[in-house]
Structure 1
Amino acid sequence: MPNYNKDTTQTIPFHEKFGYGLGDFASNLFWMPFVLFGTYFYTDVFGISALSVGIMLLVTRIWDVVNDPVMGIIADRTPAKEGVGKYRPYLFWFAIPFGLIGAIAFFTPDLSPSGKLAYAWVTYVAFGMIYTVINIPYSALMSVMSREPAERNSTSFFRMIGAQSAGLLVSSSLMTFVGELGDGDIQRGFFLTMVIFSVIAVISFILTGKMTRERIHPAPKPKGMLAKDMRYIFTNIPWWILFFVAFFTIAAFTIRFGVAAYYFKYYADPVAVEAWNIGFIEGGAISAFFTFGTIASLLGVVCFSFFAKTIDKKKMYFSLIIISGLVSAYFYYIPNTEITTIIITQAVFSFLTGPTAAILFAMYTDIAAYIKLQTGSDSSALVMSAGSLSQKFGWAVGGSVTGILLGLAGYQPDQVQPENIREIMSIMMSWAPMAACLLGALAMLAYPLDDKKMRAITDELAAQEQ
C-alpha cells in the first residue's frame, strides 16, 4: 500500500512495537495452555467427563456476549490519566489478578466429582472475565498508538510475534515442566508450571504498559452516548463481517488443537508414536506436533510482516486461508503411521495461518477509524471487544465440540477407543478445520474496507483534526 501523505509524527519505533508484543506474549502464556491442553487437562488430569467439559466450554461463552461489550464500554469511558492515557492503566491494574486467577484455574483440588465440576466452572469463568478485563483495553491500545494504518499493521504483526513466541514456549516445554516439577504428580506439575508462567505474564504486562505510548487522545465520552455507541457498533456491517471472519479463523485452529492430544494418544499408531523421536524435543510426537507448528506459525508471522505495509490485508488473508483449508483436508488421508508427515503438514498449515490473526487485529483498528469518520465517535475498545468475543467463541468451539462429540460417542479415558470415536478424531483434525477456513474466506469476500479505502479514511480524519 503506498504511503501517501504519511504523518511521520505517528511512526511507532521498534522498541515500542516490541513492548506492545509483550502483552500478547503474556496473554498467550495462559491462552495457549487452554487451547492446546485445556480439554485434555480437564478430562485426563483434573478428572471430569469429556461431556461436562464440552458443555462448560460452550455455555460459559454465552456470558461473554455481555461481558466483552460491557468491558469495551467501560474502557472507552475511562478518563485518561495524565502521562499514561486511558487504556494503558488497565495493564498495571490487572496484571497481578490475571496471573493469580490463571494459575488457580490449573490447580486440582481434592474434592468430590461435583465439587471439582463446580470449581472448574468458577475458575474457568473467572479466568475468562479477567482475560477480558485486561485484553480488551490492551487491544484497543493499538488503535491510539498511531493514526497511520501501516504503523498499526506493523504493530499488529509484532503482537502476533509475541503471541507465537509464548505459544512456542508452551508447546515445546509445558509438558516437560509439568513432568519435572510434578515429579510423578501431574496435577502438581500443571499447577507449579502455571505459577511460573503467571509470574512471567505479570512482568510482561507491566513492561507493555511502560514501553508503549498513546499518541491519539480521544475526546471524553459525553453522557447519553452509550445507546448511540451501541447502535453505531451493532449496525456496522464491516464489524459484523469481521466478527464472523475472526470466529471461523480461530475455530480452524482450535478444533484441531482441541483434539490433537487425543488424536496422538488414541488414533495415531501407538508403535509409530512411541518410535518417533528426533532427540531434542521432550514429550515425543505430540510435543513436536505443537512445537514445529508454533515455530512455523512464528516464521509465517515474521515473513509476512515484511509485506504488511505493501500488500492489501484483505487479499493477503483470503489467499492464506484458502490454501490453509486445502492443506487441512489433507490430514484425513495421511496414514496413522506417518507421524512425520502429520507433523510437517501441521507446520505448513501453521505457517499459512499464523499471519491471519495479525491481519484481523489490524482490521479491527481500521473499523474503529471508519466508525469515527462516519459518526465522530471514538469506540476503540468496544470495537475490539468483537475481536475478543469472536476469539473466545472460536476457542470454545475447538474444545466444546470435541468434548461433546467424544462424550456423546462414549469416550472413556485411558482405554482403546472404538472405531466411531477414532473417526471423530480424524474428522476433527481435517475436514472440520477445512470447513472453518472456507467459511472465513467466504465472509472476507464481503468485507468492504480494503487498504485503498483506509488510506482515504485516514487522510480525511487527519484533515478534520487540523
Structure 2
Amino acid sequence: MGVPIVQQSVQADNKAGEHISLKEKISYGMGDFGNGFMFDLGQLYLLKFFTDVAGVSAGAAAGIFLVSKLFAAICDPVVGSFVDYRKHIGSRGKFRPFLIIGSVILAILTILTFISPNISPTGKLIYAYASYMIWGIGYSIVNIPYGSLGAAITQDTIQRASLSSFRQAGSLGALFVTSVVVMPLILLFPNHHVGYPVVMGIMSLIGVIAFIICYRGTKERIISQSGPKEKLSLGVIVHTFTTNKPLLVLVLMTIFTISAYNIKSALLVYFAEYNLGHVELMAYMNFIIIGSSLLGVLFLPKLVRRFGKRKTAMLGMLVSVIADSINFFMPSNVYIFTILASISFIGISIPNGVTWAFVSDIIDYGEWSSGERKEGITYSLFNFSRKLAQSLSGFLSGIGLALIGYVPNVVQSSGTLLGIKALLCLYPAVALALAMLVIGKMYKLTDSKHAEMVQDLQRRHAENRV
C-alpha cells in the first residue's frame, strides 16, 4: 500500500505545481550553463589545440573526433539504461544526484583532454584518442540525467517551453563566456601547453558550481511507477528506439542541426585568425553574435505559444539558412560578417531551444504508447544523435581543413580562405535546410496531440492508484 500513496501524493503535487517558479527555471538553466563550461571547450578549442599546440595533423584530428564521438554515442544508451533502472531516492530524486558526482568527474576529464604529454607523436595521438573517448563517457554520466530531468519537472507544454528557453539561455550563456574569455586568457600564457589546461581548469570549476546550483534548486515531480519492466538488454534499447517514431524523426533532425551549430562554433576561430587577420577578434565577435542569440531564447516561449513547437523550430531554421547563405557571398568584412552571423545565431538558437521540449514530449509519448516510462534510455538515444552530429561536425571540420590545404600558423592561400568561409557558412545553411524538411514533413507529435496524451496518462495513473 505504500507505493500507491507515494504515487498519489506525487501526482497531486505535479498538478498543483504546473507553474514552475522563476527561481527553479533559473536553477534548471544553470545545469546547461555548467554543461557548457566543459562541453563548449571541446567544441570551440579542442581542434585548434590538437592542430596548433599538440602538433596533430588536421586529418588525424578529424579521426579523433569521429572515433571518440562514435564511441561515446554507443556508450550513451548503456548509461541511459543504467539511469532508468535506478530507483527514485526521496527528496534527492532519480536524476539529480548524478549532477554532483558526474560534474566533478567531467571537470577532471576536461582538463586532461587539453594536456599534450611530452612523448612521441604516436604517443600523443594515442593519448588524444584515449582522453577524449573517456571524456565522452564522463559527459554522458552527467548530461543524460540532466537531460532527463526536464521531463520529470513538469508535463505542461508551455512550462516545458519556458524551461527549454532557460536551458538554452544557460547553454548560450556558457558559450558566450567561453567564447569571449578563454582565448584572451590563454594568450596571457607564453607557453600554450600550460595556458590551455590552466584556463580549462578554471572554466570547469565554474561548471561544477553551476551544477550544484541546479541540483539544489530543482525538484522532480513526475514520478511514474511504469518504469522498465524487462531486464536491461540490447533488445530493450533497440525496441525503445524503433517503436518511438517521433524520436526517430527528432534524431534525424538533430544530426543536421547540431552538426551545423558545431561547425559554426569550431571554424570561427580559424576565420577570425586567417580570413580577418586577428584571432583576438573572435572574442569581440562572439560577444555580439552569442549575445544577440539570446534574443531568440527570450522570445521562444511566446513563439511556441503562438505557432507551436514545430513551426517555431522551422521558423528559426529558415532565418539561419537565409543569413548564412547571404554571409557566404558577402565580402569577408568583420562588421558585415558579425551582423549576419548574429542573425544566424538568433535563428539557430530557436530550434536548439525547442528541442529540449520535444524530448520531454517524446518521453511522454514512449510511456503512452508502450506503458513504460524510460526517461534515461529515451534521452540517451536522442543524445546518440547529438554525438553522431558532433562526430560528423568534428570529422568534417578536420577533413575539410585538410582538403582545402590548411597549414597551421602560416598565411593561407586564397583558396583555403574561401574554403574556411564555405565550411563556416554554406554547410550550416544546407544542413539546416534539410532539418526543416525533416521536421516539417515527418514530425507528427503536435502540441494538441501531446495534451491529449498527458490527459490519458493522468487517467491511467489515477486508475492504477485505485
Per the normalisation by structure 2, the TM-score is 0.91
Distance 1:238 1:98 in 2: 31
Code of the aligned partner of 1:12: I
Give the superposition deviation at 1:405: 2.4
Code of the aligned partner of 1:185: N
Residue 452 of structure 1 pairs with residue 452 of structure 2: no
Residue 43 of structure 1 pairs with residue 51 of structure 2: yes
Residue 214 of structure 1 pairs with residue 216 of structure 2: no
Change in Cα spacing, 1:387 to 1:222, as seen in structure 2 (3 Å) is closer
Residues 3-402 of structure 1: matches in 2 within 5 Å?
7-180=15-188, 182=189, 184-219=190-225, 220-224=227-231, 226=233, 227-228=235-236, 230-268=238-276, 270=277, 273=278, 284-336=280-332, 338-402=333-397
Secondary structure at the counterpart of residue 265 of structure 2: helix
Code of the aligned partner of 2:69: R
Distance 1:293 1:131 in 2: 26
Give the superposition deviation at 1:229: 5.5
Contact 1:154 1:309 in 2 (8 A): no
Q: For each residue in 1:153-211, what CA deviation from the matched residue of structure 2 results, as whole angstroms up to 9, or x when unmatched?
A: 2111111111111111111111122123x2x1222111111111121111211221121
Q: Gapped runs of 5+ residues in structure 1?
A: 1-5, 274-282
Give the superposition deviation at 1:100: 0.8
> Counterpart in 2 of 1:439?
434
Contact 1:256 1:398 in 2 (8 A): no
Q: For each residue in 1:325-344, what CA deviation from the matched residue of structure 2 results, as whole angstroms up to 9, or x when unmatched?
A: 111111221112x2110111
Code of the aligned partner of 2:181: S
Distance 1:114 1:232 in 2: 41
Give the superposition deviation at 1:129: 0.9
Secondary structure at the counterpart of residue 90 of structure 2: coil
Distance 2:119 2:267 in 1: 27
Aligned length: 446
Change in Cα spacing, 1:447 to 1:21, as seen in structure 2 (3 Å) is same
> Counterpart in 1 of 2:3?
none
Query: Which of 409, 414, 417 lines up with 1:414 in the alignment?
Result: 409
Distance 1:396 1:326 in 2: 25
Code of the aligned partner of 1:463: R
Secondary structure at the counterpart of residue 83 of structure 1: helix
Contact 2:69 2:387 in 1 (8 A): yes
Distance 2:173 2:404 in 1: 36
Residue 461 of structure 1 pairs with residue 457 of structure 2: yes
Distance 1:138 1:12 in 2: 17
Please list every run of at least 4 consecutive aligned residues from structure 1 whose deviation after the TM superposition is greater than 6 angstroms: none
Give the superposition deviation at 1:228: 4.4
Contact 2:70 2:387 in 1 (8 A): no
Distance 2:129 2:184 in 1: 27
Distance 1:44 1:228 in 2: 44
Distance 2:57 2:83 in 1: 38
Q: For each residue in 1:312-355, what CA deviation from the matched residue of structure 2 results, as whole angstroms up to 9, or x when unmatched?
A: 0001001110221111111221112x211011111111111112
Contact 2:273 2:280 in 1 (8 A): no
Q: For each residue in 1:101-153, what CA deviation from the matched residue of structure 2 results, as whole angstroms up to 9, or x when unmatched?
A: 11121123222211211111111111111001110011001111112222222
Q: For each residue in 1:385-434, what CA deviation from the matched residue of structure 2 results, as whole angstroms up to 9, or x when unmatched?
A: 13322222222222221211222444321122234323321211222111
> Sequence identity, in percent?
26
Give the superposition deviation at 1:310: 4.2
Distance 2:321 2:217 in 1: 38
Per the normalisation by structure 1, the TM-score is 0.91
Contact 2:103 2:207 in 1 (8 A): yes
Contact 2:69 2:390 in 1 (8 A): no
> Counterpart in 1 of 2:7?
none
Contact 2:293 2:349 in 1 (8 A): yes
Superposed CA RMSD in Å reads 1.8
Q: Gapped runs of 5+ residues in structure 2?
A: 1-13
